[in-house]
């Protein structure tokens, strides 16, 4: 079961969370994956359990790496947006829409939305 490799949308946090939920399916179904990976007594000679387990382990590690990469990418993107918005805010301090957008982006980064997702992966 491979993880989706589509680019994450960091702008819409709900969409980002949904992508992670889908990517975590292999972890959520680990018991099922193990049951279908490890051969029963009647199939022991037909399937190399060691190789099959290595492949399952590799797919789990790939999924974890992909999720971590996506989360870190979103943290970097959002931090960059916050920096740009701060610079804009210094130029136009009366722009309430800009302030609202800045607060929203800051909440994603420092408020912990992306950080919590990263801690789940660790």
> At how many degrees (to 10) do helices 49-91 and 96-109 cross?
150
Is residue 114 within 8 A of residue 71, CB to CB? The reply is yes
Domain ranges of the chain: 13-121
Q: Check whether 120 has a pLDDT greater than 80.
A: no
Residue-wise pLDDT tens digits, 39-70 = 777 666 677 778 888 988 999 999 999 999 99
**pLDDT band per the 50, 70, 90 thresholds, residue 5:** very low
Arithmetic mean of pLDDT, 82-101:
88
Q: Check whether 6 has a pLDDT greater than 70.
A: no
Q: Within a 10 A sphere around the Cβ of 10, how many other Cβ atoms?
A: 20
**Distance from C-alpha of 114 to C-alpha of 79, rounded to nearest angstrom:** 11
Q: Within a 10 A sphere around the Cβ of 13, how many other Cβ atoms?
A: 17
């Amino acid at each position: 079961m491979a993880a989706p490799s589509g680019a994450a949308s960091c702008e819409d946090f709900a969409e980002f969370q949904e992508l992670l939920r889908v990517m975590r399916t292999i972890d959520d179904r680990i018991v099922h994956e193990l049951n279908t990976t490890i051969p029963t007594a009647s199939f022991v000679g037909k399937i190399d359990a060691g190789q099959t387990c290595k492949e399952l382990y590799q797919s789990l590690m790939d999924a974890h790496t992909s999720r971590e990469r996506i989360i870190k990418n979103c943290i970097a993107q959002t931090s960059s947006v916050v920096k740009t918005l701060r610079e804009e805010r210094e130029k136009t301090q009366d722009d309430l829409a800009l302030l609202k957008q800045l607060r929203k982006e800051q909440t994603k980064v420092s408020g912990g939305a992306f950080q919590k997702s990263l801690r789940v992966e660790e």
